[in-house]
């Protein structure tokens, strides 16, 4: 009897916490596509993980890999266009003139610029869902070695994190991440597009890795400012998420850069690593 009471109390408490989390969300975005409740998104992420790690490889086991060259050309081109648009909107809606780089609160009003940045955050979230196709293409091309725990975890985490941005923080300080990340993606997907078209040799590969490292350092500084800047109205808890995350990415990409471009290796090994990292459209540790 006591156990039943404890279970009921736990269920009631969990339900209350869930309702509270939904009630404190941004009312402007509550009815936007895939934003109202986490259920549909969790289903997408769960199926993504299942397909990437189990179902997909099993379906492709006795099949020849797809080349997908035309598909990758179109995909990379769309990613470049979307990234350019996100950078433009992020600048015009706030970061070019209005936003403070030290600390910027979220404007929850229906002001046109506030709504513009909120819609941009939502589009960024949709783009992170589209990014899941990176792994799908890995599966269909039987690039199973690229489907690491880190790769799947990062893609799934970015989808969930960007959903939280739309749901609770559709504007303000954290949108700098989307601005910087989208700029880096312009460069990255342009590189993958060139690789897909096979129109040039990628002599610039190491500079893309340098750009990614600079991105994480810049974001680390940006979110660290929340720790010592006087309260401006933006919550400090995102710093507890993004500071460790960017430190981890700096270590990861720093190790890759060292192993690939600094440490002397046999020529064949270096080429294989470079190819695995820079394959058109998907062959890399994905940035945020």
Active site members: 154
- CB-based contact 6:21 (threshold 8 Å): no
Nearest-angstrom CA–CA distance, 123 and 34: 11
- CB-based contact 121:33 (threshold 8 Å): no
Helix (H, G, I), strand (E, B), or coil: what is residue 254?
A: helix
- CB-based contact 162:125 (threshold 8 Å): yes
Residue 79's contacts (CB-CB under 8 Å, 6 or more residues apart) are 127, 130, 185, 189, 192
- CB-based contact 90:182 (threshold 8 Å): yes
Nearest in space to 278 (alpha carbons), one of 220, 193, 160, 219: 193
Helix (H, G, I), strand (E, B), or coil: what is residue 71?
A: helix
Residue with tokens 């960007």: 162
Return the exposure string of 74-106: e unless at least 16 CB atoms fall within 10 Å of the residue's CB, then b.
ebbbebbebbbebbebbeebbbeeebeeebbbb
DSSP secondary structure letter of residue 64: P
Say how many CA atoms lie within 13 Å of 218 toward its Cβ.
17
- CB-based contact 72:196 (threshold 8 Å): yes
- CB-based contact 287:184 (threshold 8 Å): yes
């Amino acid at each position: 009897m006591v156990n039943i009471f404890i279970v009921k109390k736990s269920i009631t408490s969990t339900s209350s916490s869930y309702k509270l989390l939904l009630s404190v969300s941004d009312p402007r975005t509550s009815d936007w596509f895939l934003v109202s409740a986490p259920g549909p998104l969790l289903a997408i992420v769960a199926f993504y993980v299942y397909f990437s790690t189990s179902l997909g490889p099993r379906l492709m086991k006795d099949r020849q890999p797809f080349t997908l060259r035309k598909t990758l050309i179109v995909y990379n081109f769309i990613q470049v266009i979307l990234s350019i648009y996100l950078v433009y909107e992020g600048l015009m809606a706030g970061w070019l003139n209005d936003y403070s780089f030290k600390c910027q609160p979220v404007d929850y009003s229906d002001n046109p610029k506030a709504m513009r940045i909120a819609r941009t955050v939502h589009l960024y979230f949709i783009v992170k869902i589209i990014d899941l196709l990176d792994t799908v293409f890995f599966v269909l091309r039987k690039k199973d070695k690229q489907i690491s725990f880190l790769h799947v975890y990062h893609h799934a985490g970015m989808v969930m994190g960007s959903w939280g941005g739309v749901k609770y923080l559709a504007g303000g300080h954290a949108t700098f991440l989307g601005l910087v990340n989208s700029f880096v993606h312009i460069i990255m997907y342009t590189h993958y597009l060139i690789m897909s078209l096979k129109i040039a040799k990628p002599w610039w590969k190491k500079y893309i890795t340098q750009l990614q490292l600079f991105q994480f350092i810049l974001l680390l500084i940006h979110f660290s400012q929340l720790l010592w800047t006087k309260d401006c109205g933006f919550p400090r808890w995102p710093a507890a998420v993004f500071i460790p995350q960017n430190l981890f990415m700096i270590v990861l990409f720093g190790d890759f850069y060292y192993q690939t471009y600094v440490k002397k290796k046999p020529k064949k090994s270096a080429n294989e690593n470079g190819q695995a990292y820079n394959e058109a459209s998907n062959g890399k540790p994905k940035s945020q």
